[in-house]
Amino acid sequence: MSDASSNSPKNQHDPGDRSPDRAPGKATGRGNKAERPESDATKHDPKAEPRPEAKANASAASKDITPVLKGWDYEPGTINVRKIAGLDGAPKLQMRQPLGLIQMEMTGRPDGLRPHGYDSLLDYFEAQLDEHKQLSGSEKGFELSAEQCEDLREEAAMYYQRYLSLFVLEEFAGVVRDTSRNLRVLDVCSKYAAEEEDRLILEQYRPYITMMHTRAHASLQQKEKKYADALSTIDAGISSIKDFYARFGQEEAATDSNEIKVLKKFASEIRRKIPIDPMTKLRTALDRAVKNERYEDAAKLRDQIRTLSGPKGASPV
């Protein structure tokens, strides 16, 4: 992920190069002017050409991100994000941090890089896997080194920051995309990592990523008022998390899973938004009126039910 204050073209090409940017060269004067003693007139004349040091200071000041952060204070315990228009005209995401901010692309790799010409390192390694299968006829023998797995984890952390930001902004389609992508990272590492530690280290995050993926997917369905589909999506997400715990022989842990509790609560919220059928609502009110011996109210409710039931003589219950 690139900091908003970084404009280094180097960061746009080589993701593997983590060396600091080259320091700018020192400014120099024209001819031998910088070597001659400065006259009193030059010291005080506002029209005089700025000294090289002043130019360097002005250049450094222009990169100060204080104006960008002004009026946007960091709030501990909250996720402070916003969408802005980039200099290239494309939208960007910014997340406020205690000492500044991070800026992310909306699509592709969050830092805007294309490692080995691919959208991400994950895409690159998946392409290598496909090539290995074509050459050898199977996936046998394909492995990811400890360093490659570490690189994938670092890349996944970028996507985590982005899908978290997108969720706060209710950009749920992007959350579905990025959580699906990070689940692929877990699958690739768990299957092809050469070291056992690398096969297992990311698995602890599977319930959380699954929960976020499920919430985002169900939220999209809820917006379209596809309540039954949203509830089915949540049920599938809960089952997937339970299967995860069962795979590691920890079925009892699913009961205390915070991710499952979050999904069940979301399902309850969706059920409350499902429109109640008018006839069902009237019959429920009728049963309550009879139970409380409010017979006059019950009679009125029966009349309303008969009206909704259609032709006279149709049974109200």
Q: Give pLDDT < 50 ranges for the chain.
A: 1-47, 313-317
pTM value > 0.85: no
Q: What is the pLDDT of residue 307?
A: 82
- pLDDT number for residue 279: 78
8-state DSSP, 275: P
Amino acid at 303: D
**Given this model, what pLDDT does residue 7 score?**
34
Using alpha carbons, list the distances in angstroms from residue 138 to 124, 126, 129, 195. 18, 14, 9, 20
Q: What pLDDT is attached to residue 40?
A: 42
Euclidean distance between the first and the last CA atom of the chain, given in angstroms as a whole number = 63
85: helix, strand or coil: strand
pLDDT attached to residue 302: 85
Q: Write down the residue that tokens 């290598």 correspond to.
A: 128
Residue 238: predicted pLDDT:
97
Domain ranges of the chain: 224-275, 278-309
- In degrees rounded to 5, what are phi and psi of residue 81? -135, 160
How many angstroms separate the CA atoms of 1 and 155, rounded? 9
Q: What is the pLDDT of residue 52?
A: 60
